[in-house]
Chains A and B, each alone.
Chain A
Amino acid sequence: MSTFFLLNNIHFTLELLGALAFMAVAWLAFDAFRIRRDFTTISRGIGFAFLSLWQVIHAFNLGEEFYGYGGYTFYLIGLLFIIINLLEEAPVEKPTFKAILILPAFSLALFYLNIAAAASFLLIFILSLVQYFKENKKALIPFWAGFLFLFLGAVFSIFSGPELLDARWIAGHFFEFAGFFSLGWWVWSYLQARIQESMVLIFVTMALLISAAVTLVFSTILIARVEATTETNLLTNVKVMEFAITRLKEEALAKVRFLASKKEIQDALAKNNFPALESLLTKFLENEKLGFLMAVDKEGYVLIRAHALTQKDDNVAGEYAAGEALEGRTAVTIEPSAGEKFSIRAAAPVTFSDKKKRVITGGALIAGFPLDNAFADMIKKITGLEMSIFEKDTLTATTVLNPDGRTRNTGIKITDTNIIEQVLKKGEPITIRTVVAARTFLASYLPIKDLNGQFAGMLSAAKPEKEIVALVDATNRLTFVTVALLMLILSAPIYFITKRLSSEL
Chain B
Amino acid sequence: MRWIIWILISILILAAGVLLLRVTGASLIREITQDVSFGAESIPSASLEKAAPPFSLLDLALNTVSLSKLIGAPFILTFWTTWNPAATNQITILDEYESKHADKLFAIITLNSQQDKSVVSQFIKRGGYKIRVLMDENGSITDRYGARNLPVTYFIDADGIIRDIAIGVINEKELTEKSAHIISTSPSILK
A binding-site residues for B, Cβ under 8 Å: 39, 65-66, 69-70, 73, 76-77, 80-81, 84, 88, 103, 105-107, 109, 282, 285, 289, 291-292, 306-310, 369-370, 372-375, 377-378, 381-382, 401, 404-408, 410
Contacts and interface: CB of A to CB of B under 8 A. Distances in A.
B3 A404 contact: no
Given A373-B88, A374-B127, A406-B171, A39 B17 contact: no
A289 B3 contact: no
A70 B14 CA distance: 10
A497 to B, nearest CB: 42
A306 B170 CA distance: 32
A377 B33 contact: no
Interface stretch (B44-52, B117-125, B181-189): B117-125
Given A88-B3, A381-B128, A406-B93, A374 B169 contact: no
A310 B119 CA distance: 9
B4 A373 contact: no
A467 B14 CA distance: 31
B126 A84 contact: no
Interface stretch (B23-31, B66-74, B102-110): B23-31
B92 A377 contact: yes
Given A404-B33, A410-B85, A39 B28 contact: no
Contacts of B22: 66, 69
A310 B11 CA distance: 66
A39 B126 contact: no
Contacts of B42: none
A107 B28 CA distance: 8
Interface of B: 3-4, 7, 10-11, 14-15, 17-18, 21-22, 26, 28-29, 31, 33-35, 85-86, 88-90, 92-93, 95, 116, 118-119, 122-123, 125-129, 168-173
B17 A106 contact: yes
Considering the complex of A and B, which 7 residue pairs feature the smallest CB-CB distances, nearest first?
A405-B171, A374-B127, A406-B169, A378-B128, A307-B122, A374-B126, A377-B127
A65 to B, nearest CB: 5
A292 B122 contact: yes
A59 to B, nearest CB: 20
B21 A69 contact: yes
B119 A373 contact: no
Contacts of A291: 122, 126
A77 B17 CA distance: 13
Interface centre among B11, B122, B169 (most CB of A within 10 A): B122
A492 to B, nearest CB: 35
Contacts of B7: 80-81, 84
Given A73-B18, A407-B33, A370 B126 contact: yes
13 contacts: A39-B4, A66-B18, A69-B21, A70-B18, A73-B14, A77-B14, A80-B7, A84-B7, A306-B118, A307-B122, A370-B126, A405-B93, A405-B173
B168 to A, nearest CB: 8
A65 B24 CA distance: 11
A126 to B, nearest CB: 20
Nearest to A381: B128
Given A81-B7, A307-B118, 9 more contacts: A39-B3, A66-B22, A69-B22, A70-B18, A107-B28, A308-B116, A309-B118, A377-B95, A406-B89
A377 B128 contact: yes
Contacts of B85: 373, 408, 410
A405 B118 CA distance: 29
Contacts of A70: 18
Nearest to A291: B126
B24 to A, nearest CB: 11
Nearest to B6: A84
Given A106-B21, A410-B85, A285 B122 contact: yes
Nearest to B1: A39
Contact of A407 (B15, B89, B129): B89
A174 B35 CA distance: 41
Contacts of B92: 373, 377, 401
A406 B168 CA distance: 9
B133 to A, nearest CB: 13
Nearest to A399: B92
B130 to A, nearest CB: 9
